Structures are given as C-alpha cells and as structure tokens.
Amino acid sequence: MWVHRKFVGFSKVRIICLIIAVLLLSGCSDQWGWYVVNPSTESGRDNLYFLLSGFYYTILLSLTAISISIITGLLIALLGLSDNKFLRTVNRTYVEIVRSVPVLVLILWVYYGLPQLADIQINVFWAGVLALALSDSAFEAEIFRAGVQSVNKGQYEAAKSVGLSYLDTMRYVILPQAVRRILPALGNQLVYMLKMSSLVSVIGMPELTRKANELVVVEYRSLEIYTILVLEYLVLILIVSSAVRWLERRWKN
C-alpha cells in the first residue's frame, strides 16, 4: 500500500513536470508569447506576482464558505433525521430548492438581488461566501445524513442505555464515527468549493480567475495567461487532495 501511494504521488509530480516542459518547449514558437510570464524579466515577474496574488482570496473564500456550509449542512441534516414530519419536510424542501439553483445564478442573486430584498449592503467577498456556502450546504446535508444513517443502530441503543441525551449521543458517539466515514466526501466538497470559487470573479472578487482576466485585458495573451491559471488550480487541487488523503490515513490509524 505504501509503495502504491508513493508511486501515485510520483506519477502526479511527473505529470506536472511534463506539462511544464511542454509549455516551455511550445514557448519557442513565434505564436506563443511566454514573455508575459517569463520570470527572468521584470515585467514577467510582475505579471506572475499579480497572478499568484489571487491565491489569497481563492483560499480564504473557499475555506470560509466550506466552514459555514459544513455547519449549515449538519444542522439541515439533523432536521432530516428527526422523527418530526414537519422538520423532515423542511429538510427535503431546502435541499431540493438549493440544489436546483446553479451556483453562478445564486452568486448573482445574492450580490445584486439580496441587497434590494433585505435592504442591506454586502461586499463581493461576503456575497461570494454566502452564495457558495448556501449552495454547498445542501450537498453537505445529504453527505451528513448518509454518514449518520450508516452508523449501526446499536450505537444509539448503547448511548441511550447509559443515559446520554440525543445531543450528547450525536456529539460523542454518532458524529465522530460518521465524520470518519464521510471524510472523503467532505474532501471532495472542498475541492469542488475551490473550483467553484472561480465563478465569484463575475462580481469582481480578486481571486485567481479574476486576476487572470484582468491581465489578459492588459497583455492580450489569453493562451499563455490562462495556461498559468490552469497550472495554479492544478497545483492547488493536488495539494488539497494530498492533504485530505493524509488526514484519512491518520484517522484510520
């Protein structure tokens, strides 16, 4: 197993190196303008720094949104696990409605529509966080519901026999077991959140995609700049995926 994981990790490194090598070789063509991101020139370094500066908001936006969506999703999931029919109806209604709305549409509605509806002021960062968290919370609710339902019912009976309340049972007995089982799914949602954060660029959020769009307008080299953008997301997603797998192995021990 250790050899297999090492081989997979090595293969990913080789793939990234191969992509970079192909891009550098392609830069020899007259049709490619890699000078815009050439680290050996001052302008190239400035452009690269400008592109890389988008990492801060991409990561901050994604982590904030995923944290809120996990908490919201857990609360919605608990409603669906209730014996109360009304609460289960609330759960199903929320999940079906939120999952039916495209993320981009939700971002636009939150940023342009919510201030008029609720008479509030909201900046691009919190509009993006709210929209992404709201959209993801429906998926998180289903993940938590499936995870909790996968725990053996005997665990509930054992907790009840020692006098634990419903909340204590969930907190100390059921959720720790459920989280271990749904960790891969939660990791996938974090990757999904990182990718969906690019949509917040439409309302002016200065994350990776927005930075690339702004630089394209200035340099008129869309192929080269968007290629760097692809590599940025590739490296970020690979790092996050590796961290999630490490956490899975850690929790299994």
Residue 124 contacts residue 200 (beta carbons within 8 Å): yes
Q: Tokens in use for 79? A: 């409603």
pTM for the model stands at 0.82
Q: What is the pLDDT of residues 29-39, one digit of tens each?
A: 445 667 788 88
Whole-number average pLDDT of the chain: 83
Classify domain 56-203 by CATH number.
1.10.3720.10
Residue 132 contacts residue 69 (beta carbons within 8 Å): yes
What is the distance between the alpha carbons of residues 140 and 72, in angstroms, rounded to a whole number? Answer: 8
Tell me the CB-side half-sphere exposure of residue 247, using CA atoms within 13 A.
15
SS3 assignment for 66-77: HHHHHHHHHHHH
What is the distance between the alpha carbons of residues 72 and 150, in angstroms, rounded to a whole number? Answer: 20
Q: What is the pLDDT of residues 72-95, one digit of tens each?
A: 999 999 888 888 889 899 999 999
* Higher pLDDT pick, 84 / 69: 69
